[in-house]
């Protein structure tokens, strides 16, 4: 039986999640940020004495502004990272054109550090360098840990972040939108949202649901305590 006839482990033994598309980080970050930001925001202005309708207006404004800001930030950061990767590809390709023998020797030395003996490392490097583009990809992978084929989409990251932030941010202001809101209802909704978001994020990464949920509730609680304290210190009896 040849090596190519052996069953591929990714077809029956295990599978990897898609970690390069950009949606997972943007979604988790956006949802968490939306929840923590708006829970803290409504806690601060409610503690300052704002009427429920004012809390609702402020919360919706925070949702819209935050979702747009998160989307633009994610889009820009991912696109910048991709452009930096493209620059590294060009740099490596130019180095191969200038000094192919030196690059091949560098790769052979790298293979040697991975455990190959010198003849094997030299043959492997020679075979890789038979295809210049493949050689560029191998050098980038081993030298910088980069893969030109696995660039996340800035559009996916931006849209995922926008939607996730909006979903997270709307949860703590739902009681105010539907007319039964006070600060305690808002905090209760926000706390449940933090628990669910933290638990789901932990589930995706196969971590403890309780640890993930509790950690996110703790982080949100710190933000609420800070903004509530500031709101109480700066509180007003009426907002004209």
Q: Looking at residue 102, what is its pLDDT?
A: 87
Structural contact between residues 209 and 21, judged by C-beta atoms closer than 8 angstroms: no
Helix (H, G, I), strand (E, B) or coil at 209: helix
**Full domain range(s) for residue 117:** 21-232
Q: For residue 110, tell me if it sits in a domain.
A: yes
Q: For residue 49, tell me if it sits in a domain.
A: yes
C-alpha span between 125 and 25 (Å, rounded):
35
Q: For residue 13, tell me if it sits in a domain.
A: no
Q: For residue 175, tell me if it sits in a domain.
A: yes
Tokens of 25: 């980080």
Q: Looking at residue 21, what is its pLDDT?
A: 52
The percentage of residues in the chain with a pLDDT greater than 70, rounded to a whole number, is 88
Contacting residues for 201 by C-beta, under 8 A, at least 6 apart: 28, 32, 212, 216
The percentage of residues in the chain with a pLDDT greater than 90, rounded to a whole number, is 11
Helix axes 52-98, 100-113, angle to 10 degrees: 110
Range 138-146 contact pairs with CB under 8 angstroms and sequence separation of 24 or more: 138/107, 139/92, 139/96, 139/103, 139/106, 139/107, 140/88, 140/89, 140/92, 142/107, 142/110, 143/110, 144/88, 146/85, 146/88
Q: Looking at residue 80, what is its pLDDT?
A: 92
C-alpha span between 227 and 62 (Å, rounded):
14
Q: For residue 2, tell me if it sits in a domain.
A: no
Q: Looking at residue 239, what is its pLDDT?
A: 37
Summarize the confidence of residues 205-229 as an average pLDDT.
Answer: 82
pLDDT in tens, 91-108: 878 888 888 888 888 888
Structural contact between residues 54 and 45, judged by C-beta atoms closer than 8 angstroms: yes
The total number of structural domains in the chain stands at 1
Q: For residue 130, tell me if it sits in a domain.
A: yes
Q: For residue 4, tell me if it sits in a domain.
A: no
């Amino acid at each position: 039986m040849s090596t190519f006839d052996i069953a591929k482990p990714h077809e029956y033994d295990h599978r990897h999640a898609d970690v390069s598309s950009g949606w997972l980080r943007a979604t988790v970050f956006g949802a968490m940020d939306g929840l923590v930001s708006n829970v803290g925001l409504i806690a601060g202005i409610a503690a300052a004495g704002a009427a429920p309708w004012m809390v609702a207006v402020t919360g919706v404004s925070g949702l819209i502004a935050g979702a747009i800001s998160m989307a633009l930030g994610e889009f820009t950061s991912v696109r910048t990272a991709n452009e930096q990767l493209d620059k590294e590809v060009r740099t490596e390709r130019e180095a191969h054109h200038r000094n192919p023998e030196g690059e091949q020797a560098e790769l052979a030395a790298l293979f040697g550090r991975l455990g190959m003996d010198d003849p094997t490392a030299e043959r492997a490097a020679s075979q890789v360098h038979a295809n210049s583009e493949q050689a560029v990809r191998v050098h980038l992978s081993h030298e910088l840990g980069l893969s030109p084929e696995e660039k996340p989409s800035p559009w996916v990251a931006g849209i995922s972040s926008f939607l996730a932030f909006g979903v997270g941010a709307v949860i703590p202001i739902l009681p105010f939108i539907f007319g039964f809101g006070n600060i305690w209802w808002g905090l209760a909704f926000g706390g449940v949202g933090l628990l669910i978001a933290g638990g789901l994020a932990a589930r995706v990464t196969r971590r403890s649901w309780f640890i993930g949920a509790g950690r996110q509730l703790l982080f949100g609680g710190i933000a609420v305590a800070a903004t509530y304290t500031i709101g109480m210190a700066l509180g007003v009896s009426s907002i004209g």
